[in-house]
Chains A and B, each alone.
Chain A
C-alpha cells in the first residue's frame, strides 16, 4: 500500500465515520440507455413481510461511478460478453447442426424467460436454473457438449438471457411443486456456516446498509446476475458468488450446480420478486 492509498484510506474512513448517511443506499433511479426503466426498490414480497418492508437492488449500494457504468451499455463491460453470446446464439453446434436461433428465433424472443428462473420443470421433475435449462438444450436438442456450470460460455449465455429481459420483474414461483426446494433454500439461507458461523441473513438481512470493513453490505439480491465485478474484471455467475460467500465464512463451501445452490438460488431469487431483471449488472 503506497502513501497515497494509505492517506486516501484514512481519509475515507474519516468520511465514513463522520457521516452515517454515507452508508445509506443511494437515492437514485436506474434507467439503462435512457430507455429501460429498472425497478431498484419496491415493496418486499409477502413471504418476507416479517423481516423487511422493502427490497433493494445491489445497484443502490454501489458508488456513483459504478452505478453510472450500468446506465449505458457502452459503459457496461458486461455487455461485451452479451455480444459474444449473441454470436454463439446464432452459431450451429453439436451433432444436430442446430443453433439456439434455429429453435428459438432471435435472442430477444427469450424476453420473459429469465424472470421466472429457477423454476420447477415438469418434464424433469425438479427445480432447474437457467444454466440447467441451457445445458438440457445443448445435450438433448443440439447433441452438443454440456458447458461447465460457471464456464465462460455459460456465463456469457446467461448474460444474454438476462439482458433481453432487463426491466421485467423477477417473478420466481415459490409454491406448488417448487415449495419443498424453496424451503430447503430458506434453511440454507438462515444456516450459520463455517468457523465464523455466519448465515446469509447475518449480513444481508440484518445488516444491509452497514459497512463491514470496506464493504457496503447490500441485501444480497441476485436480480443483477450475472454481474460484472470491478474486483475481478469478469462476469460472475450467481452460484460462483454463493460459493465465495460461504467460503468466506471459513466453511466447506458448496459446488456451483449442486442441489444446495439450486435451492438457495430459488430462495434468494424469490426474495427479489418485484425487482427488475438487471443483468449483466456492474458491481464492485
Chain B
C-alpha cells in the first residue's frame, strides 16, 4: 500500500499542471541548510502534515522520531531527536530545509532527503527492489513538505 500511495503522489505531482508553480527539487535554494521560500507558494495544512508524519506509507517520520503530540501512533522510533518543541527550536525556513534535505544542514546525517530526486546510488522503484524508472520523484511532494513544515511549526513546548 505504501508503494502505491507514494507512487500516486509522485505521479500526480508531475502530471498535474496545477502544480507548475512548485519549486522543483533541483531548484530549491538552501541558505545554511534553510529554505526561505515556500515550495508551493501556498500555506501548508498542519492537519495533513500530522497525518504524513505518522503514516508509514508517507513521511513515516515517527519511524525515527518520537512525537508526544501523536500518542495514538504506536512504536515511535528513537533514532533521531524527538520532534517535541521543534516549532520552538527552528524557524519555518529551517524546518523546511531540514525536511526537504537535512543533509544540507547536518552533514552526513542519516535522515533521508524528502525533496530530492537526483544523486542517488542505485535508486529503486519504491520498495520493489527493482531499478527506478523515469517517473522517480521526491519522497514527498512539494505540498506534502509544506504540510509537514506547517505541522512541525505547531510543536511548541
Residue positions of A touching B, CB distance < 8 A: 6, 9-10, 12-13, 16-17, 23, 191-198, 202, 206-207, 210-214, 243, 246-253
Residues of chain B contacted by A194 (CB below 8 angstroms): 120-124
Once the chains are docked, how many angstroms separate the CA of A9 from the CA of B71?
A: 11
Once the chains are docked, how many angstroms separate the CA of A194 from the CA of B79?
A: 19
Q: Mark B1-40, 1 if CB is under 8 A from A, else 0.
A: 0000000000000000000000000000000000000000
Residues of chain B contacted by A206 (CB below 8 angstroms): 110
**A6-B74, A17-B66, A211-B75 in contact; A198/B127 too (CB < 8 A)?**
no
Please pick, from B72, B75, B77, B120, the residue contacting A195 in the complex, using a CB distance under 8 A.
B120
Residues of chain A contacted by B112 (CB below 8 angstroms): 195-198
Interchain Cβ contacts under 8 Å between A and B, 28 examples: A10-B74, A13-B71, A13-B74, A16-B76, A17-B76, A194-B121, A195-B120, A195-B132, A195-B136, A197-B120, A198-B110, A198-B112, A206-B110, A207-B79, A211-B79, A213-B75, A213-B76, A214-B75, A246-B129, A247-B124, A250-B124, A251-B121, A251-B123, A251-B129, A252-B122, A252-B129, A253-B124, A253-B129
**A16-B75, A193-B122, A250-B123 in contact; A212/B63 too (CB < 8 A)?**
yes
B interface, by DSSP: helix, strand, loop or mixed?
loop
Does any Cβ of A come within 8 Å of B155's Cβ?
Answer: no
Q: Which residue of A has the minimal Cβ distance to B64? A: A212
Once the chains are docked, how many angstroms separate the CA of A248 from the CA of B129?
A: 8
Residues of chain B contacted by A248 (CB below 8 angstroms): 127
Residues of chain A contacted by B135 (CB below 8 angstroms): none
Once the chains are docked, how many angstroms separate the CA of A191 from the CA of B63?
A: 21
CB of A202 within 8 A of CB of B124, answer no
Once the chains are docked, how many angstroms separate the CA of A247 from the CA of B113?
A: 17
Residue positions of B touching A, CB distance < 8 A: 56, 60, 62-64, 66, 71-79, 110, 112-113, 120-132, 136, 139
Please pick, from B71, B77, B129, the residue contacting A10 in the complex, using a CB distance under 8 A.
B71
Residues of chain A contacted by B126 (CB below 8 angstroms): 250
Please pick, from B63, B77, B131, the residue contacting A252 in the complex, using a CB distance under 8 A.
B131
Once the chains are docked, how many angstroms separate the CA of A13 from the CA of B71?
A: 9
**A12-B74, A247-B129 in contact; A213/B60 too (CB < 8 A)?**
yes
Once the chains are docked, how many angstroms separate the CA of A253 from the CA of B126?
A: 11
Q: Which residue of B has the minimal Cβ distance to A249? A: B124
Residues of chain A contacted by B110 (CB below 8 angstroms): 198, 202, 206-207
Residues of chain B contacted by A17 (CB below 8 angstroms): 66, 76
Q: How far is the CB of A5 from chain B (nearest CB, A)?
A: 9
Q: How far is the CB of B149 from chain A (nearest CB, A)?
A: 20
Please pick, from B121, B125, B127, the residue contacting A191 in the complex, using a CB distance under 8 A.
B121
Known: A194-B120, A211-B76, A213-B60. 13 other contacts (CB 8 A): A13-B71, A17-B76, A193-B121, A194-B123, A211-B78, A213-B62, A213-B75, A246-B129, A247-B124, A248-B127, A250-B123, A250-B126, A252-B131
- A6, A243, A247, A248: which has the most chain B beta carbons within 10 Å? A247
CB of A9 within 8 A of CB of B127, answer no
Q: How far is the CB of B136 from chain A (nearest CB, A)?
A: 7
CB of B79 within 8 A of CB of A252, answer no
Residues of chain B contacted by A13 (CB below 8 angstroms): 71, 73-76
8 closest A-B pairs by CB: A9-B74, A247-B129, A214-B75, A252-B131, A253-B129, A213-B63, A196-B112, A251-B124
Residues of chain A contacted by B139 (CB below 8 angstroms): 195-196
CB of B75 within 8 A of CB of A251, answer no
Q: Which residue of B has the minimal Cβ distance to A10? A: B74
Once the chains are docked, how many angstroms separate the CA of A249 from the CA of B132?
A: 12
Residues of chain A contacted by B128 (CB below 8 angstroms): 247
Residues of chain B contacted by A193 (CB below 8 angstroms): 121-122
